[in-house]
Every structure is written in C-alpha cells, then in structure tokens.
Amino acid sequence: MATDTSKLPKTKSRVSTSLRITAINPQGQEITIGAVQKLSRTISRSTTRRREFDSDIPGVTVELIPNPPGTISISIDRAVLYKSDMLAAFGFSNVVDLIEQNIPITIREYQLAPTGLAQTADNNVQTKIIEYRDCYFTANPITYDLTRDLVMIQTATLDVTTVVVRS
C-alpha cells in the first residue's frame, strides 16, 4: 500500500540540492555515471588592462577588456567499481589509451534544486541541466589511494567545446 502524501504533515525543512551526471556514449545512449565523488568545472580567459597615462597617479586602470574564453575543462573524481574504470563508465569499454577515444561525448549535469521551503511532501524542485558538449578526455590517470574508507578514486580531465545551460 502506497503512502498518501497529501496526508503527511506540513514541514519547513529544506531539501538539499542534488546532482546526477550522465553521458551520451558513442552509441548515442544516455547513461548515468554512478559513483561520482566530485565534479569541477574550469572556464578561464584573460583580460587586457587599459591604463591612464596622464593622471595624478600614473598607470591607473581605466577599464578591463575581456578576451574570448580560453580553455573550458571539467575534472571528475569517480570511485572505481568492480572492473569499471572511468572510460568504461562513459561508454568506452576495453579502452585504456586515450587515442582510442576518437568520438566526442556529451556530459549532462542535472541539478535538482529546491525553489524554496518545503510545504508538503511534494516539494517544488527545479531542474537545471548543464550540457558539456563535444568533450574529449585529456587525462585519465589511475591513482590508487585507499585512505578514503578503502575506496579507489580515479580522476579524469576532459576538454569541453561548448557549455549550454537549460532549465
């Protein structure tokens, strides 16, 4: 018998944000990447500094002009499960050498964020999807560090062509 959520008491507890990471594998299927411990995104660009020469304090910055973005990359820490290493989790089975990944992949980050305080058991949750399109693995090191509760963690770095945010 299922619980009738309309009869649950109202609460002011907060629902935490959660993430789900998926990848579009080379066969075009969306697969969930489990055991992700950490995802870091880096988008960098340089700026050009324009300075004023004829002022009381020479060299005062007048404006910063942004240059086009340089590198967009993501880094993923994932627990190694059974025989599934990082590349196998993303749909590249029996691939060890990065040169064999000659098809770009798309990685989707689903952020499930609450819109406010929960009033009932049916919380208002907004889904934000961040797509990292046309990604290539640039580093796939395997480091066995068993200090974290005897879990083996593998970190991979991917260069990203485009980042698209959808709600």
Q: Is the dihedral of CA 27, 34, 17, 119 positive or negative?
A: positive
* Residue 133: strand pairing partners: 162
> What pTM did the predictor assign?
0.72
Q: pLDDT tens digits for the chain (167 residues)?
A: 455 656 656 655 555 567 788 998 777 889 988 888 889 999 998 999 988 877 677 778 889 999 988 889 999 988 887 767 788 888 877 777 788 788 899 999 998 776 655 544 455 667 889 999 999 999 887 776 666 677 788 888 999 999 999 87
Strand, helix or coil at 77?
strand
Q: What is the pLDDT of residue 121?
A: 47
CA gyration radius, the chain: 22
Contact indicator for 160, 135 with CB cutoff of 8 Å: yes
Q: What is the pLDDT of residue 5?
A: 57
10-166: CATH class:
mainly beta
Contact indicator for 76, 156 with CB cutoff of 8 Å: yes
Rounded to whole angstroms, the Cα distance separating 59 from 139 reads 41
Q: What is the pLDDT of residue 120?
A: 45
Rounded to whole angstroms, the Cα distance separating 124 from 144 reads 41
